[in-house]
Amino acid sequence: MSSSAPNPFEGRPDPTTQPRSGRTGRSLRRGPLRAGTAVALGAVVLLVAMSGSLAQSPHASEWAVLAIDQTNYTTEQSTFTVSIEVASPASVTLAYFTFCQLSSPVCYKPVEMTLQGTNWFEGTTQRMATYDGMTVGVHAGYNITIDYANSTNVTEPNLPNSFSSLTVAQEVGGEYMFEMSVENQLYGLSGDVSDSGSHAGVAGASVALTPGNGTTSVTTSSGAYSFSGLANGTYTVAVTKAGYPTSSTTVTVAGQNEVQNIALTNASAPMQNPSTKSSGNGALGFLTSASGLIMLGVVAVVVVLGAVFAVSMSRKRTGGAPPPSGSASAESSPTTPEPPP
């Protein structure tokens, strides 16, 4: 089925329905020739060759397609571009490519190729999603046709294939085509690895992605890491760094680039020189440690024992017993005489 793009061949014969005169469209009728006719034809050919009038047809070098480039990675949301370098662009009247599904008899509207620069012709499709059936995983292909001013044409691929970087396959109708395919859209994953306490970036940490191709990302001086070329799916990100336990988290890539920051916790604290201990938080930390609590307990016991000792010594100085009640008031108060009867 064809897309809804404007037809670049408006007013011209449709190349998908017209026979290719350079390949399959030419039919030669063979039969006996009279001797006189053969001699006359031979003389004409000889005269033409001598006069050089055959120059109106492209020589072998003028027919040559020197190079073919194509988009390396095509997704449903991207276009597909084919570029060709020809030996004689001035002789070209029309260049186009046609792409088809290889596993089913479905072809799409040809894409016209226009001159770009000196010798290159280039054509670009619409997004693959606009063509029915051009979905992820489809096996497809294309061929190129070049029409010349003398009504001849050239098609690629030809066998044997002259372009080793391109693979040739046959579609269901038997026609040879250069292979192409539609792949998953790819995205990126990036983020920062930091220390959960200081919040500073952790440099030199190894970040591994599963599933993946086994390649790890090493964090930069600021703790940044990144991965590219990821299809939609769920991944496990594992970070390892000396002095920290391995940290793992999962992230889902769903139609866009993702950012996942990771904080490493429970880092091994470096040994501190006693001479460089700081006051304030350092002293509080000591008091709340096991050694500090033991010392506090010892101090408390000493205080209690000191208090008991002080009370005991006080009792010894006063005779060991408190004075009788009322004795102090008797000594200090005069006797009041009783009134007469």
Give the pLDDT score at 339. Answer: 55
> What's the predicted TM-score (pTM) here?
0.49
Give the pLDDT score at 171. Answer: 85
Q: What is the DSSP string of 230-282?
A: EPSEEEEEEEEETTEEEEEEEEEE-SS-EE--EEE-SPPPPP--GGG--STHH
Would you say 164 and 157 are in contact if contact means Cβ atoms under 8 Å apart?
no
Would you say 140 and 86 are in contact if contact means Cβ atoms under 8 Å apart?
no
Whole-angstrom Cα distance, residue 82 to residue 116?
A: 12
Give the pLDDT score at 4. Answer: 45
Whole-angstrom Cα distance, residue 66 to residue 163?
A: 9
φ, ψ of residue 159 to 5 degrees: the values are -105, 135
Give the pLDDT score at 285. Answer: 57
| Residue 264 CA: distances (Å) to CA of 55, 211, 270 | 76, 22, 16
pLDDT in tens, the chain (341 residues): 444 445 555 655 555 444 433 333 332 233 343 445 444 545 444 444 444 433 334 445 667 899 999 998 898 889 999 999 999 899 999 999 999 999 888 999 999 999 998 999 999 999 999 999 998 889 899 999 999 998 999 999 988 998 999 999 998 888 899 999 998 888 899 999 999 989 999 999 999 999 887 789 999 999 999 998 888 889 999 999 998 999 999 999 887 899 999 999 875 555 445 444 444 455 555 556 667 677 777 777 777 777 777 777 777 666 555 555 544 444 444 445 555 54
Residues in a beta bridge with 65: 86
- Assess if CATH 1.10.260.40 describes domain 53-181: no
Give the pLDDT score at 302. Answer: 73
Q: Which residues make Cβ contacts (< 8 Å) with residue 171, sequence separation at least 6? A: 100, 101, 102, 105, 141, 177
Torsion of CA 298, 300, 306, 310, to 10 degrees: -170
β pairing state of 176-181 and 168-170:
antiparallel
Where are the domains positioned within the chain? 53-181, 187-264
Q: What is the CATH architecture of 187-264?
A: Sandwich (2.60)
Q: Residue 86: name the closest of 131, 111, 112, 116 by CA.
A: 116
φ, ψ of residue 50 to 5 degrees: the values are -70, -35
Topology agreement, domain 53-181 and domain 187-264: yes
Give the pLDDT score at 184. Answer: 84
